Amino acid sequence: MVSLSKNLLALYLVLLSTICLIPIAQAYSNTQGVEYNDIVDISFTRYIDGEFSIEYTDSGPFQVVVDPAQVNRNLVDELIGMKVGEKKDIAWDVTQSNGTVNYFEYRDTKIVKVVYDSSPGLPPIGGAVITVLEVGGGLGVAVGGIYAVYKIRSRLLVKKCSDCGKKANSKCAKCATFYCPDCTVKGCLSCGSRKFVRL
């Protein structure tokens, strides 16, 4: 019963630690930056083949869903990870259906603001729960590791009967050969002694 309880406890700790190690979607932050499916306002000046095309400003931005199904994948790949206020130049080639290749430049591309965050943050209580679970998961990993080492060590240190292989509980007083309770009645098969010392 005690062994079963210990095994269940070990299983629980392993499961808890595994759950807590699963990445949790984070809201926009200066660490995460823009993510897929966010909706952002951006400003930029577009040039096609070196010729001015259009300009969007901070006060009159272009709104875009960060999704390659909505806009050019090159633009999406560059927007991913950008922070509000960050600027970069983005450029790529586009081959038209008639074979003509155009060179697009989005100069001074800037994230003006995040309009919609596709992975909103957890409320304070949710954040506290996640923190508790993360701490619990860390403890679970530590305790589970210690328990696993203990079990392996215990099994390695178990002495087996030299006759039948069962767990030994005594050894020959003369030659120190290990025996289980059933096999001690035969006497020591190694030296013939009938005296045993309990482990």
Task: Tell me what pLDDT residue 93 has.
Answer: 92
How many domains does the chain contain in total? 3
| Structure tokens, 102 | 């155009």
Mind giving me the DSSP string for 105-137? EEEEEEEEEEEE-SSPPPPHHHHHHHHHHHHHH
Task: Tell me what pLDDT residue 5 has.
Answer: 57
Tell me the pLDDT of the chain averaged across its residues.
78
Task: Tell me what pLDDT residue 190 has.
Answer: 82
Tell me if 66 sits within 8 A of 40, measured CB to CB: yes
User: Could you tell me if residue 31 is inside a domain?
Assistant: no
State mean pLDDT over 171-185.
Answer: 83
Separation CA 11–CA 152 (nearest Å): 16
| Structure tokens, 177 | 């050969």
- Is 90 exceeded by the pLDDT of residue 49? yes
List all residues 6 or more positions away from 74 whose beta carbon is below 8 Å from its beta carbon.
Answer: 90, 92
- Is 90 exceeded by the pLDDT of residue 187? no
Separation CA 62–CA 60 (nearest Å): 7
Helix 124-157 vs helix 2-21: crossing angle, to nearest 10: 130
User: Does the predicted TM-score (pTM) go above 0.75?
Assistant: no
User: Could you tell me if residue 176 is inside a domain?
Assistant: yes
- Is 90 exceeded by the pLDDT of residue 126? no
Q: Kindly state whether residues 6 and 65 are assigned to the same domain.
A: no
Q: Kindly state whether residues 90 and 128 are assigned to the same domain.
A: no
CATH of the domain at 87: 3.10.50.40
SS3 content of the chain, % helix, strand, coil (to 5): 35, 30, 40
Separation CA 30–CA 111 (nearest Å): 12
| Structure tokens, 96 | 């038209």
User: Could you tell me if residue 34 is inside a domain?
Assistant: no
Closest CA to 86 of 55, 111, 117, 113: 111
Q: Kindly state whether residues 176 and 128 are assigned to the same domain.
A: no
Q: Kindly state whether residues 150 and 164 are assigned to the same domain.
A: no
Provide the pairing of β-strand 39-48 with 101-116: antiparallel
User: Could you tell me if residue 194 is inside a domain?
Assistant: yes
User: Could you tell me if residue 108 is inside a domain?
Assistant: yes
